[in-house]
Amino acid sequence: MVVHLTLAGLWGGLLALERRAFLQAMFSRPLVAATGTGLLLEDAESGLFVGLVFELYWLGSASLGGVHQDHETLPSVCAAAFASTVSAAAHSPGTTAIWSLAILLFAPMGIAGRAIENALDTRAVRYLGEAMTSAEGENFRRVARQNLWGMWPHFVAFGLLSFAAAAAGYLFEPIERDMPRALLRGLGWAYPVIASVAAGLAVRGSSSKKAAVLASAAALAVLATLAVTGRFS
């Protein structure tokens, strides 16, 4: 358990840095972040299915000109960590019910992540002030360090939240065991519905001029293929 919680915290913190401060090579996108969380916590399937939904849900969102959108990395890591640690505590594979619950519980963390990011941005003004004072004193090494200091608060804040989400999975597992079967069945039904909503939003988020036509044609092609192969009956 300690290893899982530590890995979740480190991974969440590093991804917050990758998303914001360094490289932006898309390790922090939901598909990669959540799948990676699942792999680290030994439940890659839960990570993948949480990541698929969040990737689609936030497909077309982007922070522009300093105006932040929802923080898609934080809910992805938290939900995948929660679902994976519930499975680990139960010694059983992930279920659609837990994936749905994780997505519904942690999706609002996107708003929380954005608020934290805005607060840390405001805090970072002090590093600029320090850098300007250092530049006036011709202490250029200190100027350089101020830029790097700006990364620590992101690492700590998002790492702690990811750690907490993984811990919540372990704490929740006994509750899940006692949940009514009907509710679990309902949550299981919710997964494809949530995925459908996310896919509809992704088609809009694609910003293509012919989004509706292309998405419909592709959906029909898939349905026809599945019908021919006998999986749609």
Partner 1 sequence: MTVTKTLARSVRLRVFWRSLFIQAGYNPRGQQSLGLTYALLPALKALYPDPRAEGEAVQRHLATTFNTHPYVATAMVGGILHHEERIARGEAPPASAQHFKASLMGPLAALGDGFFWFSLRPACGALSAALYPWLGVWCALLFLVLFNAVHVTARARFFLLGYRHGDGIVAHLSRANISRWGERLRAVAAASAGALAAYLSVVFANRSGLSVPLLTGACLLIAVLSFAVAVGRGARWAALYGSALLAIVAGALQ
Chain residues 135-174 in contact with partner 1, contact rule CB under 8 A: 135-136, 138, 140, 143-144, 146-151
CB nearer partner 1, residue 2 or residue 228: 228
Tokens representing residue 80 in the block? 């995948």
Long-range CB pairs of 205-209, under 8 A, 24+ apart, other chains included: 205/58, 205/59, 205/60, 205/61, 206/59, 206/60, 207/60
Interface with partner 1 in residues 15-44 (CB under 8 A): 20-27, 29, 31-32, 35-36, 38-39, 44
Q: Which stretch binds partner 1 (CB under 8 A): 7-15, 60-68, 73-81, 158-166?
A: 60-68
Question: At closest approach, how far in Å is the CB of 98 from partner 1?
Answer: 13
Nearer to partner 1, 124 or 156 (CB): 124
Give the separation between CA 22 and CA 43, rounded to whole angstroms: 28
The site that binds partner 1 (CB under 8 A) totals a number of residues, namely: 100
**Segment 74-93, which members bind partner 1 (CB under 8 A)?**
none
Q: Least Å distance between CB 191 and partner 1?
A: 6
Q: Mask of contacts with partner 1, 90-129, x by CB under 8 A? A: ------x---x---x--x-------------xx-xx-xx-
3 near partner 1, rule: CB under 8 A? no
Task: Look up residue 127 and give its amino acid.
Answer: Y
Radius of gyration, alpha carbons of the chain: 20
* Alpha carbon distances (Å) from 140 to 124, 126, 148: 18, 17, 13
Indicate whether 196 belongs to the interface with partner 1 (CB under 8 A): yes
| Angstrom distances, CA of residue 56 to CA of 89, 180, 203 | 29, 30, 8
Percentages helix, strand, coil for the chain (3-state, rounded to 5) are 75, 0, 20
Residue 222 is a binding residue for partner 1 (CB under 8 A) = yes
For position 48 contacting partner 1 by CB under 8 A, the verdict is: yes
Q: How crowded is the C-beta side of 46, counted as CA atoms within 13 Å?
A: 31
Q: Any contact of residue 179 with partner 1 (CB under 8 A)?
A: no
